[in-house]
Amino acid sequence: MAKLSKLAESLVGSEIVRLGNEINDRIRQGEHIYNFTIGDFDPNIFPIPKELEELIVESYRNRYTNYPPGDGLLELRTAVAFFLKQWEGLEYATNEILIASGGRPLIYTVFKAIVDEGDKVVYAAPSWNNNHYVHLTDGQHCLIEATPENNFMPTAADIEPHISTATLICLCTPQNPTGTTLPKAELEKICDLVIEENSKRGENEKKLYVMFDQMYWTLTYGSTQHYNPVGLRPAMKPYTVFVDGISKAFASTGLRIGWSCGPAEIIAKMKALLSHLGAWGPMSEQKATARFLHNTQAIQTYLTTFKAGLEERLHKIYDGLIALKQKGYKVDAVVPQAAIYLTIKLDLAGKKTTNTVLATQADVTSYILSEAKLAVVPFYAFGAPKSSPWYRLSVGTCHIADIEPMFNQLEAALEKLQ
């Protein structure tokens, strides 16, 4: 095979996509699998808001099928500003908002706009794709191994030793893959570290920035509350770039409408990068979203029902795992807080089957898939150690009726282990 670029030669594809494709192949071949791997929604279970759907259809009928502006329709950026102000109390001008085709191109352009070769990027594991984006931009990995004691979220104490030499801190809350959130007090401490560090840096020095991924911020449950850096510390506004959108808030992953908010000079550079990538949100979806974001009543009504459905699934599966734990099986789970994910533990490495030993966590994953027909994503796919017994379980495609039979098969599989 011909030699390619250093980047191409060293590139590692998404483990989550690879696993998802493998599961889908098995399902197509007729195997019944309880597939909790994909961070998406089954539209037959969780459809997009009816009002948004009708606006999209209307937009296509009005032939809004041409190129949108490079930074997004002005009416959509205005609607995003309204939405942020109304729901989070954040104030951003339209030149501080950038529209793109979901979160991925925005995250990539945040990295490209801020990170030079060798710049230190601080991120926690497990977390979604930060390791790959650091690699894509030739940054210096500064990985923090988050712990179950902190609900797998990074702490200010974790970050502080690296702060003076860092260029970018990546935070995601509610977090993919864990479904946990960054507590208010901890986020305040992190913000204070960033503000203090930037006060020390000279006028001609690169500042320390925070990429704040809050794509799941509307999906919190019970007493859990979402907080953001600028809301807690207004002095963070010059140093914070948000990544947000409709993908998870309205079960609209395929509509490809995301936005970033941040300092105008950074947003302008991200826009310039996107102009070469062409990763714009589709025109009709932009038109529809611009109108939908002003419909506060429809949004509130949708979120009430949507969140109740997600929370019911998360708690049923959590309760089932805790019941298995109380029977003595080596499983566990973290109490659901947010997003569409449940953090579960399958601490089965070293257990024996009739024919072999589950020597590695990969063996455990394979066994659970083969015997219990349960597909979940190991945390090593999110940068955690290969030996981690923790997994992401996603409920966006979960039928309530599947939960009881899934647990029956899981318990039967656990019972076979010695």
Residue 418 structure tokens: 């010695």
pLDDT score at 96: 98
Residue 360 structure tokens: 């590695």
**For residue 97, is it within any domain?**
yes
| Together in a domain, 188 and 40 | no
Whether this model's pTM surpasses 0.85: yes
Coil, strand or helix: which one is 345? Answer: strand
Q: What is the mean pLDDT of residues 383-405?
A: 96
Q: Is 351 exposed, middle or buried (0-12, 13-18, 19+ CB in 10 A)?
A: middle
CATH number of the domain that residue 111 is part of = 3.40.640.10
pLDDT over 80 at 278, yes or no: yes
| Together in a domain, 268 and 317 | no
**For residue 1, is it within any domain?**
no
In whole angstroms, how large is the CA radius of gyration of the chain?
Answer: 22
**For residue 251, is it within any domain?**
yes
1 pLDDT band (50/70/90 cuts)? low
Beta bridge partners of 97: 261
Q: Count of CB atoms within 10 A of residue 206's CB?
A: 13
Q: What are the start-end ranges of the H helices in 332-399?
A: 361-372
Number of domains in the chain: 2
| Together in a domain, 189 and 282 | yes
Q: What is the mean pLDDT of residues 220-246?
A: 98
Residue 343 phi, psi (nearest 5): -85, 120
Instruction: Select from 234, 267, 295 the last residue of a domain.
Output: 295
pLDDT score at 167: 98
117: Cβ contacts below 8 Å, ≥ 6 apart: 137, 138, 139
354 pLDDT band (50/70/90 cuts)? confident
Q: Which strand (E) or helix (H) includes residue 10?
A: helix 6-10
| Together in a domain, 315 and 286 | no
| Together in a domain, 252 and 107 | yes
Q: What is the mean pLDDT of residues 391-418?
A: 96
Cβ contact 99:286 at 8 Å:
yes
CA distances from 226 to 123, 166, 386, 392 (A): 19, 25, 31, 21
Question: In 3D, which of 288, 278, 292 has the Cα closest to residue 67?
Answer: 278
Instruction: Select from 295, 321, 353 the last residue of a domain.
Output: 295
Instruction: Select from 236, 263, 295 the last residue of a domain.
Output: 295
Cβ contact 79:290 at 8 Å:
yes
Which tens digits make up the pLDDT trace of 306-341?
Answer: 999 999 999 999 999 999 999 999 999 999 999 999
Q: Name the one residue in this structure whose structure tokens are 């020597």.
A: 359
Cβ contact 226:232 at 8 Å:
no
What are the E-state strand segments in 45-178? 97-100, 120-125, 140-145, 166-172
What are the E-state strand segments in 262-389? 331-333, 341-346, 374-375, 377-378
29 pLDDT band (50/70/90 cuts)? confident
Pairing state of beta strands 240-245 and 258-261?
Answer: antiparallel
| Together in a domain, 146 and 248 | yes
Determine the structural domain holding residue 329 and report its residue range. 6-46+300-415
What are the E-state strand segments in 157-286? 166-172, 209-213, 240-245, 258-261
| Together in a domain, 273 and 325 | no
Compute the distance between CA of residue 249 and CA of residue 247 in angstroms, rounded to an integer: 6
| Together in a domain, 286 and 304 | no
| Together in a domain, 230 and 349 | no
Q: What is the mean pLDDT of the chain?
A: 95
Cβ contact 326:135 at 8 Å:
no
pLDDT score at 2: 67
| Together in a domain, 164 and 304 | no
- Structure-model confidence comparison of residues 2 and 97, the more confident one: 97
CATH number of the domain that residue 348 is part of = 3.90.1150.10
Q: In what order do the strands lie in the sheet with 377-378?
A: 331-333, 341-346, 390-394, 377-378
Cβ contact 35:27 at 8 Å:
yes
Q: Count of CB atoms within 10 A of residue 162's CB?
A: 15
Which tens digits make up the pLDDT trace of 3-12?
Answer: 898 888 888 7
Cis preceding-peptide flag for 126 (omega within 30 of 0): yes
